[in-house]
Chain A
Amino acid sequence: MTEHLPVLIIAVPLLAAFVLPIVRILGVIPRDIFVFSVFIAVNVMLMSLIPDICIYNKTLHYVLGAASPSTLTPEGLAFPIRIVLKIDGFSLLMAVFSAIVGLVGFLYSHKFVPEDGRKNYYVILLLLMLVGMIGLEFTNDLFNFFVFLEILSISCAALVAFRTNQKHPPYAGYKYLLVSSLATSFFLLGVGLCYAQYGSFNMDYINRMLNHSLLDRVALVFMIIPLAMKAGAVPMHMWVADTYSEAPAPVTAMLVTASQASLYGVFRLSFTLFGNSTANISINYHTLGWIIIILGVLSMFIGVTMALVQHDVKRLMAFHSVSQTGYMLLGVGVGIAVYAGHDGGAAFHQYGKLAMTGGIFHIINNSMYKGLLFLTAGVMVRRFGTANLDRMIGMAHRDVFTTIAFIVGALAIAGIPPFSGFASKLIIFESVYHFNPFLSVIAMFVSVLTLASFLKVFYGAFLGPERKDLLVDNNPLPHGMTAGMGIMCLFILIMGIAPEAVIKYLIDPAIAGLVKIL
């Protein structure tokens, strides 16, 4: 049983999604219990993998369709022929946090999405989104990666456009789907270029055989740039604000993790597929690192300056998720830039590894606090019936829990101790300073502007006199929404107070999974 865990984690929500119309016949409450237990089961299965992978530093391989799933080359062949799932620290880290955000999103949407006959489709798409995220984080097969990417984009787009009777959501869904399918088409072109040379889709096999020809570099560009677009890096970020702001709040929280799954693709491909730190022939890591750093710095700066002037609270937060993506790209980009230099990895050990720690730590932090902020934005929109900050006032008088959750999220994203954003940002500042002080200064400046723009939201929506006439919904919050926000707050606090434990047990194995010259 335990050896089949990797495929069960993907198969259980996938099957549950297709069984759901049958379960719905039994009633709404059995449906909710069923889906809740599926989310819990996925979380538990993922957590049960943590000891093996993160503490004993194993890498799990699962060969689909083989007689014995753990042998990589079943029939004594020299190369793997079947689809291989490979779980190392980085995959597991991303999958665990995707599953947690998925659970929170489901809890939050329990009463948030009205039970009007379409809720069933909503839950199915939520499950498919989880399948897409976890699948693309687990797979070691390029074509399989592409398929899961498409599952993810189709379910995301359908969820973004969920409120089809309103004016803008269908167009937002159209935008998301067009951007995604254009990106995945280019990605598939890159996969084809790899397949043309090496005759396999297995990442590890291609990495062993890689000869770093011109075609490989073209394939690298065709894979990295579209995935960066899906992750929302400047200058390809404009769709982020338009789509995030139209989606229902729990979906937006999950869209953040969906974007980070694409970011996972960027890092996974630059290290595991194209990484070659020992051979003399290699792609120029310094240039690749600088491309990613420039994308990151532009994302940070343009994202935050655009967020500062927004009047729509969800657009403001969407621009912040662009800005936070910049931090991750910056941290890991510095790691890539010094990865295979001529100094034999001295710079990498001195500060590159630390920068990557910060970048990857920031990924999981961001999935928590950005999700939390989008959930509080959902409460604001529910209360006032609009996302316009000018027409909100005095929410702190009646929604005390939401106010606390918002303060926790806003302080975490601005990097104020003792919340988790401070830990990762401090690591990024300190390590990037050794690489290039100027980048570190920009990162700090962006952090200040982040705090300023959340001050604007706090001032606009929470402070001020209580105005009952502006409220469109005066009911107390459903418990599901409170529970969702509470879980997020808890994680932010834990990761802020015990960052060293998170780094030791989650981030270091993730870096060990990516980097080969430890």
Chain B
Amino acid sequence: MTDFFLYVTVVLLVFFGLSAVLFKRNLIKIVIALNILEAGVNLFFIVLAYRPEGTAPIFTLAPELEKLRMVLPTPQALILTNIVIGFATTALMLVFAVFIYRNNGTLDIRNLKGVEDHD
């Protein structure tokens, strides 16, 4: 049952992240929204691998196969990679936001069309 609620959390996180990306007007807020979306995806992988009352898959004396409930380590390792990538993306986007503010004096995407010669 906890599984079900965790998946619901994943869906909610992705939904909130996506809708914030689509409707927020501030560049910094869009970065935050993207992070929420990524957190949802990361949680999805972690929930996939998680077994209630499971142990880490490190055994000195392997238990019997029926009692074996372990948490799969692969997705967690992959999610570490994804967190690092997400960190790089966030950092780069915030750097861009700083430059945008320096050059244009605003962070509102309604004032930042970026289309100069276009009619």
Contact = CB atoms under 8 A, between A and B. Distances in A.
Chain A–chain B contact at Cβ < 8 A:
yes
Contact of B75 (A167, A182, A195): A195
Interface residues of B, number: 34
A315 interface: yes
Contact of A147 (B85, B86, B103): B85
B118 A173 contact: no
Nearest to B98: A170
B115 interface: yes
Nearest to B91: A154
B100 A311 contact: no
Given A166-B103, A167-B104, A174-B27, A196 B48 contact: yes
A154 B84 CA distance: 12
Contacts of A161: 96, 99
Given A185-B41, A192-B45, A178 B34 contact: yes
A168 B41 contact: no
Contact of A177 (B48, B93, B114): B93
Contacts of B82: 146, 188
Contact of A181 (B89, B114, B117, B119): B89
A181 B30 CA distance: 12
A59 to B, nearest CB: 26
Contact of B34 (A170, A182, A312): A182
A246 B100 CA distance: 14
Contact of B99 (A164, A188, A195, A311): A164
B85 A178 contact: no
A137 interface: no
A165 B100 CA distance: 9
Given A171-B96, A311-B118, A177 B41 contact: no
Contacts of B86: 181
Interface string A154-191: 10011001001111101111110110011001001100
A143 interface: yes
B92 A189 contact: no
A11 B104 CA distance: 40
Given A143-B78, A170-B99, A171-B104, A189 B14 contact: yes
A211 interface: no
A188 B86 CA distance: 12
Contacts of A242: 114-115
Contact of A192 (B48, B85, B100): B48
A181 to B, nearest CB: 5
A148 to B, nearest CB: 11
Nearest to A158: B92
Given A147-B85, A189-B44, A196-B48, A177 B92 contact: yes
Nearest to B114: A171
A12 B82 CA distance: 24
16 contacts: A147-B81, A147-B85, A154-B88, A161-B99, A172-B114, A177-B93, A181-B38, A182-B21, A185-B37, A189-B41, A189-B44, A192-B45, A195-B45, A195-B48, A311-B118, A315-B117
10 nearest A-B residue pairs (beta carbon): A170-B99, A174-B96, A312-B117, A171-B114, A150-B85, A170-B96, A170-B100, A181-B89, A164-B99, A167-B103
Given A161-B99, A177-B89, 9 more contacts: A154-B92, A161-B96, A164-B103, A166-B103, A174-B93, A189-B14, A189-B41, A192-B44, A387-B117
Interface of A: 143, 146-147, 150, 154, 157-158, 161, 164-168, 170-175, 177-178, 181-182, 185, 188-189, 192, 195-196, 242, 246, 310-312, 315, 387-388
